[in-house]
Amino acid sequence: SIPVILDVDTGLDDACALLLAARHPDLDLRAVTCVAGNADVDQVVRNTLLVLAAAGRHDVAVARGASRPLLEPARAARHVHGEDGLGDLDHAALGLPAATGEVDQRHAVELLRDELLAAASSGERITLVPLAPLTNIALLLRTYPEVAKGLRRIVFMGGAAAVGNATAAAEFNIWHDPEAAAVVLDAARELEIPVTMYGLDVFYDVRVSRDEAVELLAVAAPATRLAGALVQAQCVKFGTPSATIGDAGAVCAVVDPAGLTTSPLAVHVELAGARTRGQTVVDRREWVGDLDHDPHGIPPTVVDVALAVDGDRWRRLWL
């Protein structure tokens, strides 16, 4: 099975991703690290423990990470994910088990370091799947660059080759901490870590219907009921007949890469633009001329950018 670590800001769709990573037989979920994003970091930790408890995975280490972006204040996405970051679900009505799991005493960066170096010394390589602002991962790669030898690749949810969601130009995870995203891409280039960008060009294309959610809600297993409730909450909130599994698509990309079409493209994170801060500028030109000069002298990083997905294939995978 494939060893993975998720970095999350749980979040309705992070929860969809955690359930898949926790229960899929081809994945070996080694740890989960938490960061401020959809909700404040303590709420993210609570939500993560709740989801892992529903999945029966009290054995997975969960660590608290950065409580704010590198430069700007945290800006929770309550308008999307609710007051508690997880759709304000009625846990008792759903019959979810109590989140009794303990939080690891280490900071997220220390847990990541320990897991990656332990993997490296036993000849393994872990796939890191960040589904949130990249604050923890930026701190990790700058503090302990030696972890690269324990990394197979990074598959992150974030960015877009076309339009944004937090702003017209920027996707939420990158918009929330653009400096961190720029650091991660820069470090990945320097340390030669392969990166896949699972961004908005595919994010909304793996969808589960309201009717399927109702079927999930009728199943006895708490993980399945929670999965149904996560989809249903989004359908109700947005008044749509189906909802995206969102971040869970990045986990599908690890389990079943054949469902995804990617292209190796140069990517820059825009830090300065008045209306474009946090945009991932994806260079899709066939020819790049001498005029293309970055004023900060930072070379772009070539990333496998997700451009199309087989939504039906991954809907079935997730279900």
Q: From the CB of 280, what's the least distance to ligand BDR, in Å? A: 12
* Cβ at position 43, least distance to ligand BDR in Å: 13
Q: Which letter does DSSP use for residue 215 in this model?
A: H
Candidate residues 69, 85, 246, 300; the one interacting with ligand BDR per rule CB under 6 A: 246
Q: Which residues pair with 273 in a beta bridge?
A: none
| Stretch of 20-28, 89-97, 106-114, 170-178 contacting ligand BDR, by CB under 6 A | 170-178
Tokens of 38: 């959809």
Q: Quick check: 7 binds Ca ion (CB under 5 A)?
A: no
Instruction: Rank residues 174 and 216 by Cβ distance to ligand BDR and give the closer one.
Output: 174
Dist. CA 50–CA 52, nearest whole Å: 6
Binding of ligand BDR at residue 247 (CB under 6 A)? yes
CB of 133 to ligand BDR, least distance (A): 8
As a whole number of angstroms, the distance between CA 158 and CA 293 comes to 25
The closest of 183, 167, 185 to 277, measured between CA atoms, is 167
Asked if 14 touches Ca ion (CB under 5 A), the answer is yes
CA–CA distance, 40 with 238 (Å, rounded to integer): 23
CA 188/CA 191 separation, integer angstroms = 5
Q: Is 132 in the site for Ca ion (CB under 5 A)?
A: yes
Give 52-80 as a DSSP string.
Answer: HHHTT-TTSEEEE--SS-SSSPP---HHH
Least spacing, CB of residue 175 vs Ca ion, in Å: 12
Contacting positions for ligand BDR (CB under 6 A): 11, 13-14, 38, 77, 80, 131-132, 157, 165, 171-173, 246-247
Contacting positions for Ca ion (CB under 5 A): 9, 11, 14, 131-132, 247
